[in-house]
Amino acid sequence: MGQELKVALVGNPNSGKSTLFNVLTGLSQKIGNFPGVTVEKKEGFSKLPDGRTARIIDLPGTYSFYPKSRDERIVMDALADKNSPVHPDLIVFVADASNLKRNLLLFSQVADLRIPIVIALNMMDLSMQAGIEIAVDDLALKLGVQIVPISARKLEGIEGLKLAISQSSSIPTQFPSIDVPALAPDLIHAIRRDLNIKYPYVALQLAHQHEQLSFLSDEENIRIEEIKNEFSFHSQKSQATETIGRYSFINDVLFDTVKLNSDPGKETMSNRIDNILTHRLFGFVIFFLILFLIFQSIFAWSEYPMSLIENLFIWVTNLSHQVLPQGVFSDLLIDGVLAGLSGVLIFIPQIAILFAFISILEDTGYMSRVTFMMDKIMRKVGLSGKSVVPMIGGFACAVPSIMSTRNIENWKDRMITIMVTPLIACSARLPVYTLLISMVVPDQKVWGFINMQGIALMALYLLSIVSAIIVAWAMKLIIRSRERGYFIMELPVYRMPRWNNVLLTMYRSVKAFVFEAGKIIIAVSIILWVLSSYGPSGKFNDIDQKYRSEAYVEKYPKHEIDRLVSSEKLENSYAGILGKSIEPVIRPLGFDWKIGIALITSFAAREVFVGTMATIYSVEADNSNLASVRDKMMAARNSETGLPVFTVAVAFSLMVFYAFAMQCISTVAIVYRETKSWKWPAIQFAYMTSLAYIASLIVYQLLK
Amino acid sequence: MKLSQFQPGQSGIIKEFTDLEMSIKLMEMGCLPGESIVVERIAPLGDPIAITVSGYQLSLRKREASTIIMQ
């Protein structure tokens, strides 16, 4: 596509890059992966004033080209490799105007790659408030590039930026900043000559990080290694010299283009907020209150939309029964697919609320304060303050959280974080917990406002945090490492959350949940329906025969016979046989063979438990009974004793089992991909399953 | 004097670093020799600390701060 302009957004973390990306692309964005790696790639399209379309690629935020984490390596990979599908025609460098000096370090590195570049000078509103005066035109003249002042949050200057993108030159215009070849003259010369590299800074970067770049061939890597040895290249010393040189250039440039008119004695708003939020005592109290608020609202706010979805499904099921002809196909559709889906889609409101809170905490800058406050505790148990964000993300889903551990530079810290993150109560457990809690915990208020069910849920979440900490501490003693960890992290100023962004996050997470989880759930539901509707040949006929006999027809009313027939058929179906075969193992935990079926199917994903329960009890129930999953499970009786199946002991034993057990294929897969070995997922699976079994056993035997 | 020995509210100018690897990370984040630093606060549990350097806030552990020698 000749008319399409490929534009990459490059900039520091917290420079407003994602906000600008959202503003430029709107809902046209696609989330994928960068080629060959699992770093999230955000891409979208933007219409330019001249009618062309720009393909906008959001590269991970980084402070410099010397990557501290795997995400940051993507930037070099995309920019240094001309043949990369994400190699841009133009770079839009997003700079935070209130923090120009540090932002220009990365700019001066990017500029030396000789790709055409435009600066979007973001957060102009903030920097004006802070009393920073920037002579934009003079600065542009000194750097040799177009600079467009914008405020992405307030949508100011966006048209100007689009115009600058469409009018950008196809050849680089930026002035050189430092004398790059002087950093290592012979080495740069040799690499340029032998690998046919056009620009000196690209050659130098290859010397620094060729091992981590994906586009070099083995021979090229060997040749670079030889050249490095030949000229005894010292990477760290060269980096230090380069960084100092660049800053001295930046200081020169900024000397007469940026003026600071603020009163140094005046305390900033952000500082005053920090005085409270990171206060010795209030800091932790507030953090706890925020968590409390989140869990209370997950229950309170979702009640109404959840009952709407529930009623919708009851209505659809009812309608299907009337409209569809009786037969195998409609049974499969209604008892298999529809029942399975309804059990899961009902949790959309709760997932949306959870993701909304997480995105607000990140957006406001509060999440990094949590990291700041918790670092010392986390380090005591073998984690780092940076483990807090993946672990809080773990409340949503372990899969993206485990991917986000790439920001943890230290190998051991990262491994332990990966190992314990799946213990954190993820949103897939939420359906299981809320269903079981609503069955056995009374919906009562204590002191008029604290919901008992909310307390029970919070207790389960606290259990997950405590267990993660204990396991982390144990692993700290087991895993050996000599690598040093460090914790140098920006504390961004507090900002109001961008409500658009919150909505977008909710939309994305719900969409992912519905499509990703939905696929598995429909598949599992169909398989399950088949397994529970058919049995070894002859068995079902015998049952039909048995109940058609005189003795039964006289003794029981018609609907009672129907119930007995379907119940006995389920017991003799393939699923029933499967469940019964593991019953001896799970009996001490209080589980019967029906729960056993759910345990097996939910090895794919925890939320499948609810769908399975729905399917099992729908297959069993006669068609006139169209109550919710919860009512069906409440009504379930042990066929021998006649007592309810789901007692307090069974429900809590089940919840504890789901709290610890590694029942998520996606997590196993992502841990394998992130650690590049089967060893870690295998250890994880083994320790979590044993923990689950032992904990459930204790809970059931105590509460029985 | 090392940066790690500073109290909240105290300020000073960076003189040099004692650790090459750490110094690169710190310089990338704007902590350069000659730059002035204000210690803003210490985390509730005594570590890490938050400093203001070249117009923004940075948090680092005391161990890392101890590699920064102040004038």
Q: What is the ipTM of this complex?
A: 0.94
Question: Which runs of consecutive H residues, i.e. helices, occur in A280-407?
Answer: 282-300, 303-323, 328-331, 339-345, 348-364, 366-380, 388-393, 398-404
Q: What pLDDT, on the 0 to 100 scale, is given for residue A626?
A: 44
Does B12 contact chain A (CB < 8 Å)?
Answer: no
A114 phi, psi to nearest 5 deg: 60, 45
Lowest mean pLDDT among A49-58, A453-462, A604-613, A635-644: A635-644
Give the three-class secondary structure for A468. Answer: helix
Token code pair at residue A473: 């501490």
User: Would you say residue A153 has pLDDT above 60?
Assistant: yes
Averaged pLDDT of chain A: 84
Which helix (DSSP H) or strand (DSSP E) does residue A5 occupy? strand A5-11
Q: Which residue has the higher pLDDT, A609 or A516?
A: A609
Give the three-class secondary structure for A54. Answer: strand
pLDDT digits (tens, 9 = 90+) for A459-476: 998 899 899 999 999 998
Does A63 contact chain B (CB < 8 Å)?
Answer: yes
User: Would you say residue A9 has pLDDT above 90?
Assistant: yes
What letter represents residue A293's amino acid?
A: L
Token code pair at residue A537: 């040949």
Q: How far is CA B3 from the centre of its chain?
A: 5
Question: A660 CB contacts (<8 Å, ≥6 apart)?
Answer: A423, A467, A688, A689, A691, A692, A695
Smallest CA–CA separation between B33 and chain A, in Å?
Answer: 9
Q: In whole angstroms, give the CA distance from residue A613 to residue A413.
A: 39
Q: What pLDDT, on the 0 to 100 scale, is given for residue A28?
A: 66
User: Would you say residue A136 has pLDDT above 70?
Assistant: yes
Residue with tokens 């986390």: A378
pTM of the model: 0.78
User: Would you say residue A642 has pLDDT above 90?
Assistant: no
Q: In whole angstroms, give the CA distance from residue A629 to residue A647.
A: 16
What letter represents residue A270's amino acid?
A: S
User: Would you say residue A31 has pLDDT above 70?
Assistant: no
Q: Mark A9-39 as b/e (b = at least 16 C-beta within 10 Å).
A: bbbbbbbbbbbbbbbbbeeebeeeebeebeb
Check A373 against B45: CB less than 8 A apart: yes
Region A228-252: what's the mean pLDDT? 92
Does B13 contact chain A (CB < 8 Å)?
Answer: no
Which residues partner with A122 through β-bridges? A96
A194 phi, psi to nearest 5 deg: -80, -30
What letter represents residue A441's amino acid?
A: V
Give A245's contacts in chain B (Cβ within 8 Å): none
Does B9 contact chain A (CB < 8 Å)?
Answer: no
Q: What pLDDT, on the 0 to 100 scale, is given for residue A515?
A: 74
Does residue A327 come out as left (phi exceeding 0), alpha (psi in the -120 to 50 range) or beta?
left
A54 phi, psi to nearest 5 deg: -105, 130
Token code pair at residue A521: 């759930």
Give B26's contacts in chain A (Cβ within 8 Å): 488
Q: How far is CA A358 from the centre of its chain?
A: 10
Smallest CA–CA separation between A110 and chain B, in Å?
Answer: 14
Token code pair at residue A554: 């006289």
**HEC assignment per residue over A513-559:** HHHHHHHHHHHHHHHHHHHHHCCCCCHHHHHHHHHHCHHHHHHCCHH
Token code pair at residue A512: 């992912």
Closest Cβ–Cβ partner in A243, A377, A487 for B64:
A487
User: Would you say residue A165 has pLDDT above 90?
Assistant: yes
Question: A382 CB contacts (<8 Å, ≥6 apart)?
Answer: A412, A413, A416, A472, A473, A475, A476, A477, A479
Region A502-508: what's the mean pLDDT? 81
Region A149-164: what's the mean pLDDT? 92
User: Would you say residue A592 has pLDDT above 50?
Assistant: yes
Check A372 against B59: CB less than 8 A apart: yes
Question: A426 CB contacts (<8 Å, ≥6 apart)?
Answer: A394, A395, A396, A397, A398, A606, A664
Smallest CA–CA separation between B31 and chain A, in Å?
Answer: 9
Residue with tokens 């148990």: A381
Q: What pLDDT, on the 0 to 100 scale, is given for residue A32?
A: 60
Closest Cβ–Cβ partner in A99, A239, A486 for B22:
A486
Does A281 contact chain B (CB < 8 Å)?
Answer: yes
Question: Which runs of consecutive H residues, i.e. helices, occur in chain B?
Answer: 20-28, 62-65
Q: If pLDDT is split at 50, 70 and 90, which confidence band does A624 have? A: very low
User: Which residue does chain A place closest to B49, by CA atoms?
Assistant: A372
Pairing of strands B11-17, A258-260: unpaired
Q: What pLDDT, on the 0 to 100 scale, is given for residue A3?
A: 66
Token code pair at residue A628: 């919710």
User: Which residue does chain A place closest to B62, by CA atoms?
Assistant: A487
Smallest CA–CA separation between A403 and chain B, in Å?
Answer: 23
Q: In whole angstroms, give the CA distance from residue A333 to residue A313.
A: 13
Check A375 against B20: CB less than 8 A apart: no
pLDDT digits (tens, 9 = 90+) for A69-113: 667 778 888 888 888 888 999 999 999 998 899 999 999 999 999
pLDDT digits (tens, 9 = 90+) for A405-424: 776 777 888 899 999 999 99
